[in-house]
Structure 1
Amino acid sequence: MSDAAPFREAEFLPVDLDVQRDGDGTIRLKSRVPLEVGDANLPRAIAARALTMGEKSAVAWRGADGEWVHLRYDVLKREIDAATQWLIDNVPRGRTMILMAGNGRAAAVLTVAAWGAGVILCPVGPAYGLAGGELLRLRHVFAKTDPVIVYADPHPALAAAVEAVAGPDVTILAPDPSLYTREAVALEDVLATAPTDAVAASIEAIDPDAVASYMLTSGSTGLPKLVEISLANFAANSAQGLMSIGRAAGWGDMMLDWLPWHHAAGAGLLRATLLNGGTIYVDGGKPMPGLFEESLRNMREIPVAYVNNVPLGYAMLVDAMEQDPVLRATYFSKLRLMLYGGAGLPQHVHDRLQQMAVAETGHRIHMTTGYGMTESVSGCMTIHFPTDKVGIGLPAPGLEVKLVRHDDRYEVRLRGPNVMRGYLDEPAKTAEAFDDEGYYRTGDLAVFHDDAQPGAGLAFAGRLAEEFKLSNGTWVYGGQLREALLKALAPHVAELVLCDDNRDYLGVLAWAKPDAPDDLLDLVAEQLRVFNAGQRGGSATVKRVALFDRPPNPGANEMSDKGTINRRAVLDNRPGDLERLYAAEPGDGVRAV
């Protein structure tokens, strides 16, 4: 890749950074560019936009015949108004609706309708109801939110889970009521409701600072926490994204995305698209074996200017594009911005993408991050300046970043109008989440790309929760080491987890890519020997490696809906794999390094 290749049609927010240094080594960062928030009454703002869009497609998804089905803006507004009226008539203001829906018509309509009716929305991934067993996570969410109504996509297992968990006083809303043994309200009946003046009155009565949604954390360290988010929080975060990357993203154009709307990043993309009058094509795939082929099919067909993905998705994409010139040509034909979130992007994946972009178009494609979390609504730090370095960028307008010294790195803390008010009915956890100055403790670690030039941005340097000690007391910096190992074990290893707390040495359990050679285990062991030669100390030296024979199980919380690995859940769910890795003598499927 040539550094001389210009970025393609990139429009950058100027870097105007305020940097303050405290005597204890703490550094505070914020943009001097003021945050400009539009109408925080999002149902009113989305309705106003829909009126100007008319018959333009708002949301599209593939129907049973594989062809795209379009929901026009005029129809979307009509159905939102109908659902809002029905909720006004049937659900007390300030009570909760649980929404268990995949991306599509029901999720788009009911999300905006709930806000308009003053009903608190709690989006829950359908996987919570499809996991089987005791449904502990789903029961936890119902107990916390005390919902009056629940919507669930049509699936027999999901229907059974809802009936098992929802009390008799909870109204069930369903596209197919016949799946239930008790009475359920048909979604089509709700969408046929005739709206009255009560809809506009309800929307005007909205308090943007009141709780509008409970968004679930990943639950990677236990049962999920429920984050209290207001429309003002949502609006501030949408404005941060628009100011930082919005012109390049072109949310008023076509979007193709798989990120689930019941998670922070996907929900943010839905809001941004509807607020800006764009069309979002729902990608029914995701970066997982057996599902990514659908994403590739869609990317061959729908060229877009902006792509939002997780690092694993980009890693799988570069492998596919190297073998598929048609995919590569379509993918880069309009592209001017790629965003990654959910985890740090390996530098080698970034570089391979840029090499392809330059070969295909003669330009580099601006690549940014959406660094953030559910507690900050979504991404609130971005790379809004030209660079080829992977990182987490700089704070968006309105955000204050506090960097607290932690060894040779900094713990990242956030404060701003997009940051949550707290966790539902968790006063102790809420208090623990904030420091004495009101900054949210992310638990993430970062370093400057250049200590002398803060404007060059920050780089991700691990998570406190992913760092663990070996039995000799030395720390393993899990985030940094995992990224380095993925690079060293490319191109045949798809994912890995580091093992394990209080063991005598460091081990790795890895997943192979589908096209991996038969002698992969021996090949990986040799790659690790080369890797170890460049390391210092046992905390970065791998002594054993084994391959998983079972893919990550989202239903067991091993992988999130965003495609990120939950290390602790993987190890807790697979004691047999862990024990064979650390057996006195390496057995089948294990190699000493």
Structure 2
Amino acid sequence: MSELFAPVDVATRTASDGGLVIASGQRLAPHPSSVLDSFFQGCDAHPDRVLAAERRDGSWATCTWGHAGVRVKRLAQGLLDHHVAGHPVMILSHNSIAHLLVTLAAYAIGSPVVPVSVAYSLLSKEHRELRAIAQIVEPAAVFAENATYAAAVEALGAVNLTVSADSTGTDLTPLARLEAEPTHAIAERIGQIDANSIAKIMFTSGSTGRPKGVVNHHGMLAANQQQMRQVWPFLADEPPILADWLPWSHTFGGNHNVNMVLVNGGSLWIDDGKPTPQMIERTVRNVADVRPSIHFNVPGATPRWCRFSSVTPTSPAASCRGCGWRSSPLPVCRSNCGTVSRRWLPCTGPRCG
């Protein structure tokens, strides 16, 4: 079993102004220029492995790496046929298999994806933030998960192409109808993507005014994953299994976690719960089902996990190599999830060796 952490290799020096400069002694190793490259390599290497899964009518619906690779290229061809290539694709959706496939298909034709916070679509009646984002990015296509997002789509006005995973009760184009047999043009488009190509535009929360777009390049996302592979060596040898709810409109869920799975050949089980009093039990059930090898969450989840401390299989530590929280140091949690006192900690469950 690989080491959890890389050996400590830190260099320090005193700057001319008296400040202390701290740097890693490790150099970034060679790596693919895009997470899309890693994705297609994974499709060839382990086509039957689960890439993503989601709850449908109480059961898990899965999508394998091989199936995802086929659908991504077919969706990419459909987008190309509708003249979307190189132009932004706005995504109005919660975390879902379709959301992931559309994201990868857009990458394949050089189109930046714009994953918009679900709150801007479903909690806002006037959709001011949503319309402001659309005015900035001018999307050539919009993906709306289902009819729940119909009002948000209507608020955007006329768009070149609007598609949906479930078009029941709407006049949106079904994803299945968008798919087309891939031509050599798709391979050419994929070959043109490099580290400087724009992968996505993520928008801030708008807490200091209107949401602001943040450009994410393919090279930046790929380098970030390589950094993690070097700091956490076990990732390269143990394909990560995640049960995760963190929204893909945010960099923690959408970049850190999703790309960790894509780059390391893992499996992402989409948690339809949340660390809220009303939905934490759903998350506990999903984690117990999946038994993830890594668990990520927010600080607010910690005390709520403790409510289930007597149910050993449901604690994140029951199967984890590690648990991570997006936070500064946390209070001690004396439950089956281990002592939580750092941002990342080794877990002590039976699969930890």
**TM-score normalized with structure 1 length:** 0.55
The equivalent position to 2:323 in structure 1, one of 338, 341, 347, is 338
Matches for 1:116-515 after TM superposition, within 5 Å: 116-156=108-148, 158-165=149-156, 167-180=157-170, 183-191=171-179, 193-247=180-234, 252-267=239-254, 268-321=256-309, 323-328=310-315, 331-341=316-326, 343-349=327-333, 352=334, 356=336, 368-369=343-344
Offset at 1:226? 0.6
The equivalent position to 2:17 in structure 1, one of 17, 24, 41, is 24
The equivalent position to 1:111 in structure 2, one of 103, 123, 129, is 103
Q: Provide, for residues 124-152 of structure 1, a one-character-per-residue CA deviation record: whole Å limited to 9, x for no partner.
A: 12221112332111111101101111111
Contact 2:35 2:262 in 1 (8 A): no
Q: Give, as a single letter, the amino acid of the residue that structure 2 aligns with 1:173.
A: V
Is 1:60 the counterpart of 2:53 in the alignment? yes
Contact 2:242 2:295 in 1 (8 A): yes
Instruction: Rate the CA distance shift 1:296–1:206 in 2: closer, same or farther, 3 A.
Output: same
Q: Provide, for residues 240-299 of structure 1, a one-character-per-residue CA deviation record: whole Å limited to 9, x for no partner.
A: 111112516976142211111221111221111122211111111011121111001112
Instruction: Rate the CA distance shift 1:245–1:69 in 2: closer, same or farther, 3 A.
Output: same
Instruction: Rate the CA distance shift 1:9–1:366 in 2: closer, same or farther, 3 A.
Output: farther
Instruction: Rate the CA distance shift 1:333–1:320 in 2: closer, same or farther, 3 A.
Output: closer
Instruction: Rate the CA distance shift 1:249–1:208 in 2: closer, same or farther, 3 A.
Output: closer
Q: Provide, for residues 341-365 of structure 1, a one-character-per-residue CA deviation record: whole Å limited to 9, x for no partner.
A: 1x3242323xx25xx467xxxxx79
Structure having greater relative contact order (Cα 8 Å, sep ≥ 6): 2
Is 1:15 the counterpart of 2:15 in the alignment? no
Q: Give, as a single letter, the amino acid of the residue that structure 2 aligns with 1:127.
A: A
Q: Give, as a single letter, the amino acid of the residue that structure 2 aligns with 1:153.
A: E
Aligned partner of 2:75 in structure 1 is: 83
Provide the secondary structure at the position in 1 that maps to 2:232: helix
Contact 2:82 2:161 in 1 (8 A): no
Q: Give, as a single letter, the amino acid of the residue that structure 1 aligns with 2:328.
A: G
CA–CA distance in structure 2, aligned partners of residues 99 and 246 of structure 1: 33
Q: Give, as a single letter, the amino acid of the residue that structure 1 aligns with 2:56.
A: G
Provide the secondary structure at the position in 1 that maps to 2:332: helix
Overall identity of the aligned pairs, in %:
26
Provide the secondary structure at the position in 2 that maps to 1:172: strand
Offset at 1:203? 0.4
Q: Give, as a single letter, the amino acid of the residue that structure 2 aligns with 1:52.
A: A
Provide the secondary structure at the position in 2 that maps to 1:177: coil
Offset at 1:62? 1.3
Aligned partner of 1:551 in structure 2 is: none
CA–CA distance in structure 2, aligned partners of residues 26 and 213 of structure 1: 36
Contact 1:283 1:295 in 2 (8 A): yes
Provide the secondary structure at the position in 2 that maps to 1:255: strand
Q: Provide, for residues 200-225 of structure 1, a one-character-per-residue CA deviation record: whole Å limited to 9, x for no partner.
A: 11100113202221011222222211
Q: Give, as a single letter, the amino acid of the residue that structure 1 aligns with 2:162.
A: I
Q: Give, as a single letter, the amino acid of the residue that structure 2 aligns with 1:123.
A: P
CA–CA distance in structure 2, aligned partners of residues 135 and 365 of structure 1: 39
Provide the secondary structure at the position in 1 that maps to 2:23: strand
Q: Give, as a single letter, the amino acid of the residue that structure 2 aligns with 1:41.
A: S
Provide the secondary structure at the position in 2 that maps to 1:308: strand
CA–CA distance in structure 2, aligned partners of residues 263 and 246 of structure 1: 25
CA–CA distance in structure 1, aligned partners of residues 227 and 302 of structure 2: 24
Contact 2:50 2:62 in 1 (8 A): yes
Q: Provide, for residues 530-559 of structure 1, a one-character-per-residue CA deviation record: whole Å limited to 9, x for no partner.
A: xxxxxxxxxxxxxxxxxxxxxxxxxxxxxx
CA–CA distance in structure 2, aligned partners of residues 327 and 92 of structure 1: 44
Instruction: Rate the CA distance shift 1:141–1:216 in 2: closer, same or farther, 3 A.
Output: same
User: Mind listing any 5+ residue stretches in structure 2 that lack a counterpart?
Assistant: 347-353
Offset at 1:17? 1.1
CA–CA distance in structure 2, aligned partners of residues 291 and 225 of structure 1: 30
Q: Give, as a single letter, the amino acid of the residue that structure 1 aligns with 2:92.
A: M
Q: Provide, for residues 338-394 of structure 1, a one-character-per-residue CA deviation record: whole Å limited to 9, x for no partner.
A: 1111x3242323xx25xx467xxxxx799544xxxxxxxxxxxxx8xx8xxxxxxxx
User: Across the two proteins, how many residue pairs are aligned to each other?
Assistant: 346
CA–CA distance in structure 1, aligned partners of residues 286 and 172 of structure 2: 35
Offset at 1:82? 0.4
Offset at 1:86? 1.1
Aligned partner of 2:350 in structure 1 is: none
CA–CA distance in structure 1, aligned partners of residues 313 and 231 of structure 2: 31
User: Mind listing any 5+ residue stretches in structure 1 that lack a counterpart?
Assistant: 1-7, 359-363, 370-382, 387-593
CA–CA distance in structure 1, aligned partners of residues 264 and 178 of structure 2: 27
Offset at 1:304? 2.1
Q: Provide, for residues 67-104 of structure 1, a one-character-per-residue CA deviation record: whole Å limited to 9, x for no partner.
A: 11110111100000101111121134321110112222
CA–CA distance in structure 2, aligned partners of residues 120 and 251 of structure 1: 30
Offset at 1:52? 1.0
Contact 1:212 1:230 in 2 (8 A): yes
Matches for 1:564-579 after TM superposition, within 5 Å: none
Aligned partner of 2:44 in structure 1 is: 51
Instruction: Rate the CA distance shift 1:357–1:230 in 2: closer, same or farther, 3 A.
Output: closer
Provide the secondary structure at the position in 1 that maps to 2:300: helix
Q: Give, as a single letter, the amino acid of the residue that structure 2 aligns with 1:136.
A: R
Offset at 1:316? 1.4
